[in-house]
Amino acid sequence: MIEKHGITKEDIYNFNKTGFQIGVISGGKVVTGSDRRNQRKAVQPGNREWVTVIQGINAQGWAIPPFIIFAGTYHHSAWYEGNDIPPDWVISLSDNSWTNNELGIEWL
């Protein structure tokens, strides 16, 4: 199909959406005492707020800037420290930090 239709590598994209918890930098931990081996309890440090990120990259290897969705109604500049966020990254909001049709169109 690539040869038949003359599709180039810069026209081939992979898009993906992922979610992650704010404040969590590693997998969950299992905590148990030696007398409770069969009664393990999974614990997760940090808060439980989720963020969604939509990302795209083409077959040439260059990426579209990420589209980051936080839960909220108002965007507060106090959420960030310093100027560490690249200016081409897009930050948006939804009620639950999930994507929806309107945010998908905004990202496109």
Question: What's the pLDDT score for residue 20?
Answer: 81
pTM here?
Answer: 0.68
pLDDT tens profile 31-87? 555 555 565 555 555 556 888 999 999 999 999 999 999 888 887 777 766 677 888
**Which positions ≥6 away from 105 have C-beta within 8 Å?**
none
What value, to the nearest 5°, has the Cα angle with vertex 102 and ends 98 and 103?
50
- Name the region of 60 (left: φ>0; alpha: ψ -120 to 50; beta: rest): alpha
> In which band, very low, low, confident or very high, does the pLDDT at 24 lie, cut at 50, 70 and 90?
low
Question: What's the pLDDT score for residue 102?
Answer: 92
Question: What's the pLDDT score for residue 54?
Answer: 93
Residue ranges per domain, the chain?
Answer: 2-107
| Sheet of 63-71, strand order | 13-21, 50-58, 63-71, 90-94
The residue among 25 and 70 whose pLDDT is bigger is 70
Question: What's the pLDDT score for residue 29?
Answer: 54
Which DSSP symbol is given to 104? Answer: H
